[in-house]
Chains A and B, each alone.
Chain A
Amino acid sequence: MSESAASNPLATPSARHLRPALHHQFEELEQQYDASSFGMWVFLATEMLFFGGLFTAYIMYRSLYYSGFAAGSHGLEGDFGAAMTFILLASSFTMAMSVHAAREGKRTMLVILLLLTILLGIAFLGIKFTEYSHKWHEQMVPGLNFHPSLEELRGAPGNAVELFLCFYFFMTGLHALHMIIGIGLLSVMAILAWRGKITRENYDRIEVSGLYWHFVDIVWIYLFPLLYLIGGRYK
């Protein structure tokens, strides 16, 4: 059910004064849209390398200290992890639908969907910070108050559990930081949409925000099994 090129508002050549959304450095709206989207993809490639450094370190240490990592993973709250996964996937759905609404020029739908996405993101962060506070109370924060009281963690090579928890906090923390930035970005988009500033000709901002949001979701898609499900939960 995709649109034909003829009805696409961005495909027709334009006189500059008829297209106020066209920035001065571009010749055509299509070029502008292309450039925005391409630019965000290039940025996402940088983010792949940014998180990638952490994933590299994670792979290295998990290979070296598997049992400690498994023991540490067991100490994480799997229900919360699963819940966060479902919430983020739903937020990706609402985000994709909001881009669709922007493309169709449906202002109200766009605002509602953006707000839903933001709410789901906040719910995610709420659970995440609850987890962090639980870890603090269980004295499982590396370096700052690491004295595990959970019986099963004392048996495992204790040091590797602390190393695992470093990864837990650093990776989910960096991810949460990206979520916060994403929520901020979407809030700005929601305000712009509410004020009617997003039209069928300049919705590339929503598209580009969506790309960022989906990327952050993809990072979580990997973090969930890699942090929460090491060694299974059948014991």
Chain B
Amino acid sequence: MSTAVAEVPVESRVHYLNANYGIKSWLFTTDHKRIALLYLGSITLMFFIGGAAAVMMRLHLIEPAGALVQPETYNKLFTIHGVIMVWFFLIPSIPNTLGNFLVPMMIGARDLAFPRLNLLSWYVYITGAAFTLYTLISGGVDTGWTFYTPLSSHYLNTHVMATALGVFITGFSSILTGLNFIVTIHKMRAPGMTWKRMPLFLWSTYATSIIFVLATPVLAIALFLVGLERIFHVGIFDPAIGGDPVLFQHLFWFYSHPAVYIMILPGMGVVSELVTCFSKKKPFGYVFIAYSSLAIAFFSFLVWGHHMFVSSQSVYAGFIFSALSFAVAIPSAIKVFNWTATLYKGSISYQAPMLYALGFIGLFTMGGLTGLFLASLATDVHLHDTYFVIAHFHYIMVGGAVMAYLGGIHFWWPKITGRLYHDGWARFAALVIFVGFNLTFFPQYMLGYLGMPRRYAVYPAEFQVLNVMSSAGASILGVGYLIPFVYLLWSIRYGPVAGSNPWSAKGLEWETPSPPPTGNFEATPIITGEPYGYAEPEHVHV
């Protein structure tokens, strides 16, 4: 399965980065690798804007009466933080950067099935982002990222339409990406690449794409209907004409719960790749990990009502959603067990990507376990809309998804740029992030349990110590996120040249030069062996 690659000096070899120069060659590219970098730049920008909102919120919450902004402004901050982080950072993060870059390479293809559609999806993303950023500079929106009716459809005078439109438009970017990945994985695998010979990252990308394609349209119609209600001044969520505001919540959460799995599944795929490479061991239970991705995608559609336990949703529906929510934890747990079993007796090394992967396993597990308190109908009545929920999803989204994203960026950075970064600084940053993260969000579990509500600009004085701890943690976390900027960007110019496979990993992408040529492979690879062909542990000498 391997092709010998001559190590030609980077400067004289033509690859996807230097094949063409000039801004038009980037803005009109159809090369999936360049599009991945276009996305990388955009989502990083959005991450820092959403992060800035979070910084302001944490500064504000240092004092019980609020230290920084007016309550109306605070409402706008948490709304824009949520909107940007969910739709403009987390959802596109791994699929549109690492996914776009790696999917064709991992299946042995020259590009995705629809390269121009891929470029279009980036432009659609940018258009949606423009609408949302317009909201930021023109006064903001304060519905919360969930746009609940009738507040959003009827009572608010802030920029609901612009934000909803921005999200609606960006949804199409998701749909096009998911569609592209599904068609590519079905129709363009290299000869000999059966489904069970695909890397696990592709399985989770495929499962994520199913969710993209089936869930996002329902969000689109929900937001479309809110928009219509604002235009017509009545609508189908309006009680004055017999409408039900809770119907909006059904349509919204039918998308938004699977959406949280969109945010975590790709990260799980990355972790599968990292854990195997840095234990030098093939994944334990490959089939279980692969199928659990599909199971997560399917089950994620059955549980949305657990966001609506106290919304006047029927108690019977609540029972069913609660039971199903317990069931959806099972495939995730299967993955955690299999990763752990992969680590066992592996030859483990602790480079930065592995630190992120290990952090993911621990923090995702904690976040997942706290989800059980929320899935349980009775305890959720107490914890709903408190900081416990916030801590729960940040453990999964930040402690899980963002760590996996950073781990993936660090792992594939040599492939993408042809350069190695300084691993010592990378490990240091990972540790700073880990410490800062826990200091920020662990106190929030306690705050929530003690009853502090979310989305409140003021709070009772007895909660101040925990809030200050959380804000202190946030400052450390912020520094931790800035450090990679420095060494990663530095490495592009001054880092040592990376060979085609600096990690000695298994996978088709590692058999191409770093950076790869525009067409990825000189000749279409033919797959004859199983994936993850690491030597058996007994043969590895310590």
Contact = CB atoms under 8 A, between A and B. Distances in A.
Q: Do chains A and B touch in the complex (CB under 8 A)?
A: yes
Contacts of A124: none
Given A60-B247, A68-B242, A39 B183 contact: yes
Name the residue in B186, B236, B240, B251 with the highest tally of chain A Cβ atoms < 10 Å from its Cβ. Answer: B236
Contacts of A163: 236, 241-243
A contact patch SS: helix
B240 A25 contact: no
Interface stretch (B215-223, B323-331, B504-512): B215-223
A200 B91 CA distance: 40
A35 B218 CA distance: 25
Contacts of B43: none
Given A50-B220, A142-B232, A38 B241 contact: no
B182 A46 contact: no
Contacts of A157: 242
A169 B241 CA distance: 15
A65 B217 CA distance: 27
A50 B247 contact: no
B188 A31 contact: yes
A24 B111 CA distance: 8
A140 B183 CA distance: 45
A112 interface: no
Contacts, number: 112
A144 B233 contact: yes
B235 interface: yes
Contacts of B232: 141-144, 166, 169
Contact of B217 (A27, A31, A50, A64): A50
A51 B220 CA distance: 10
Contacts of B188: 25-26, 31, 35
Nearest to B216: A46
A39 B186 CA distance: 10
A53 B113 contact: no
B221 A166 contact: no
A160 B242 contact: yes
A170 B225 contact: yes
Contact of A159 (B218, B221, B236, B241): B241
B46 to A, nearest CB: 24
Contacts of A146: 234
B368 interface: no
B241 A162 contact: yes
Contacts of A39: 113-114, 179-180, 183
Given A35-B183, A46-B175, A68-B242, A166 B217 contact: no
The size class of the interface chain A forms with chain B is: 35 or more
A46 B242 contact: no
A65 B242 contact: yes
A171 to B, nearest CB: 10
A47 B217 contact: yes
A221 B250 CA distance: 26
A52 B217 CA distance: 9
B109 interface: yes
B110 A24 contact: yes
Contact of A25 (B113, B186, B221, B233): B113
A160 B241 CA distance: 6
A25 B112 contact: yes
Interface string A26-70: 110001001100110011011101111110110011001100100
Interface string B185-216: 01110000000000000000000000001111
Contacts of B247: 57, 60
Q: How many of chain B's residues touch chain A, expressed as a range?
A: 35 or more
A220 interface: no
A35 B220 contact: no
A157 B240 CA distance: 12
A167 interface: yes
A91 to B, nearest CB: 24
A31 B115 CA distance: 15
Nearest to B114: A39
Contacts of A57: 225, 236, 247, 251
Nearest to B232: A143
A12 B232 CA distance: 56
Contacts of B472: none
B97 to A, nearest CB: 20
A11 to B, nearest CB: 16
Interface in B238-257: 240-244, 247, 250-251
Contacts of A51: 221
B175 A34 contact: no
A230 B236 CA distance: 19
A103 B215 CA distance: 35
A90 B160 CA distance: 41
B526 to A, nearest CB: 12
Contacts of B242: 61, 64-65, 68, 157, 159-160, 163
A42 B217 contact: no
Contact of B213 (A31, A45, A141, A169): A45
Given A46-B214, A142-B234, A163-B242, A25 B110 contact: yes
25 contacts: A24-B110, A25-B109, A25-B110, A25-B188, A27-B524, A35-B114, A39-B180, A39-B183, A43-B179, A46-B179, A46-B217, A51-B221, A52-B218, A53-B217, A53-B251, A60-B244, A65-B242, A141-B232, A142-B232, A142-B241, A146-B234, A163-B243, A166-B234, A166-B235, A167-B236
Per CB-CB distance, the 6 closest pairs between chain A and chain B, nearest first, are A53-B221, A143-B232, A143-B234, A50-B217, A25-B111, A49-B217
Interface of B: 104, 109-115, 175, 179-180, 182-183, 186-188, 213-218, 220-222, 224-225, 228, 232-236, 240-244, 247, 250-251, 519, 524
Given A56-B251, A57-B251, A169-B232, 20 more contacts: A24-B110, A24-B111, A25-B110, A25-B115, A35-B113, A35-B183, A38-B187, A42-B179, A42-B182, A45-B213, A46-B179, A46-B213, A49-B217, A53-B225, A61-B242, A141-B232, A142-B234, A143-B234, A144-B232, A160-B241
